[in-house]
Amino acid sequence: MTIDTLTPDSDTASASREPAPLGLLGYLRCAQGIVWREALRFIHQRERFVAALVRPLVWLFIFAAGFRAVLGLSITEPYETYILYEVYIAPGLVGMIQLFNGMQSSLAMVYDREMGNMRSLLVSPVPRWFLLSSKLVAGVAVSLAQVYVFLAIARIWEIEPPLIGYLTVLPALVLSGLMLGALGLLLSSIIRQLENFAGIMNFVIFPMFFLSSALYPLLRMKESSPLLHDLCLWNPFTHAVELIRFALYAKPNWEAASIVIACTAVFMGLAIFAYNPSKGMLARRGGPGRA
């Protein structure tokens, strides 16, 4: 195949033309493009969607059924009556979906860096903090779709929060999604190679999930080990789960919300620092694509 004779349009790289400043609209188009690409990627990877749903559903259908008889739950906030174990762990499983989604985004960033795709993102004239924030928002949007499908299936399984809860949980999901996505971004700047991602499973996802209130009330944990109880309290994921738990029952939990917002700011700040060419990990390591 031969290349057509070149007849560039009138505005091709003319020496006199200055590019217009990007402005707010340009930034929004950039963010829209990043979200759109993530959505396309998500649609192309249907198995990722299925895997993201199967994981918490296995916990709900099998694990929770088995533990229902073993674990008695007293009445604790936000619940107003005795609840089944399935009802208790549902918010934790929602958190699990977002936790895995955040780590999946991190994996995708590392993959992009190894494959070289990230270079095309980072040479955008839009500031890097905005690019990373857009990536974060895109990841949260994907996690919201996963969570609501899970909640719909869970309702069939008699996990029935008040209907208003599906609305009030939305801001909580956005906050927890941002926090876990920001953590994923930070980790993606630290992970040198794709192979190291297994370490993330062992050292981040599992400890965060099990050292939290996702599967058991913290009071129960305190009875078993005060030290583990304290560690659970230091775990940001605990507060994300409690934020979701309360919001799903249309009750605010300002303490959890504050902690989640603060952790999001810290993780995002560190991620932006790490991706800054003059300060962060990329400069020390040799840039994206050199992992």
Partner 1 sequence: MQPALTVEGVSHAFGKKQALDAVDLTVQQGQFCALLGPNGAGKTTLFSLVTRLYDNVSGTIRVLGYDVRRQSSQALQNLGVVFQSRTVDADLSVMQNLTYHAALHGMPAKLARDRAEAELHRIGLADRARDKIRALSGGQVRRVEIARALIHRPRLLLLDEPTVGLDIESRQEIVSHVRSLVETGGLGVLWATHLVDELDQRDNVIVLHSGKVLTQNAAGALIKQTGEADLIGAFCALTGTKPPQRAAALA
Q: Which stretch binds partner 1 (CB under 8 A): 47-55, 86-94, 137-145, 277-285?
A: 277-285
**Residue placing its CB nearer to partner 1 in the complex, 66 or 277:** 277
Rounded-to-10 torsion of CA 62, 67, 72, 73:
-50
Phi-psi sector, 286: left (phi>0), alpha (psi -120 to 50), beta: left
**66: contact with partner 1 by CB under 8 A:** no
Number of Cβ atoms within 10 Å of the Cβ of 113: 26
Phi, psi of 253 (to 5 degrees): -135, 85
Out of 87, 178, 247, 282, name the contact with partner 1 by CB under 8 A. 282
**Residue placing its CB nearer to partner 1 in the complex, 13 or 163:** 13
**202: contact with partner 1 by CB under 8 A:** no
Q: Which stretch binds partner 1 (CB under 8 A): 120-128, 157-165, 171-179, 226-234?
A: 120-128
Q: How many residues bind partner 1 (CB under 8 A)?
A: 52
Which residues neighbour 62 within 8 Å (Cβ) at sequence distance 6 or greater?
none
**Residue placing its CB nearer to partner 1 in the complex, 9 or 80:** 9
Tell which positions 17-56 bind partner 1, by CB under 8 A: 17, 19, 22-23, 25-27, 29-30, 32-34, 36-37, 40-41, 44
Q: Are 24 and 120 in contact (CB under 8 A)?
A: no
SS3 83: coil
Out of 69, 75, 123, 163, name the contact with partner 1 by CB under 8 A. 123
Among positive and negative, which fits the CA dihedral 47, 151, 250, 69?
negative
**Residue placing its CB nearer to partner 1 in the complex, 81 or 278:** 278
Number of Cβ atoms within 10 Å of the Cβ of 196: 13
Which residues neighbour 194 within 8 Å (Cβ) at sequence distance 6 or greater?
107, 110, 111, 114, 291
- Length of the chain measured in residues: 291
Phi-psi sector, 241: left (phi>0), alpha (psi -120 to 50), beta: alpha
Out of 103, 122, 240, 244, name the contact with partner 1 by CB under 8 A. 122
**Residue placing its CB nearer to partner 1 in the complex, 124 or 168:** 124
Q: Which stretch binds partner 1 (CB under 8 A): 7-15, 173-181, 229-237, 259-267?
A: 7-15
Q: Which stretch binds partner 1 (CB under 8 A): 79-87, 140-148, 246-254, 276-284?
A: 276-284
**192: contact with partner 1 by CB under 8 A:** no
Minimum gap (Å) between residue 135 Cβ and partner 1: 12
Residue 122 to residue 160: CA distance in whole angstroms = 44
Residue with tokens 């560690």: 231
- Which residues contribute to the site for partner 1 (CB under 8 A)? 1-4, 6-9, 11-15, 17, 19, 22-23, 25-27, 29-30, 32-34, 36-37, 40-41, 44, 115-117, 119-127, 131, 277-279, 282-283, 286-289
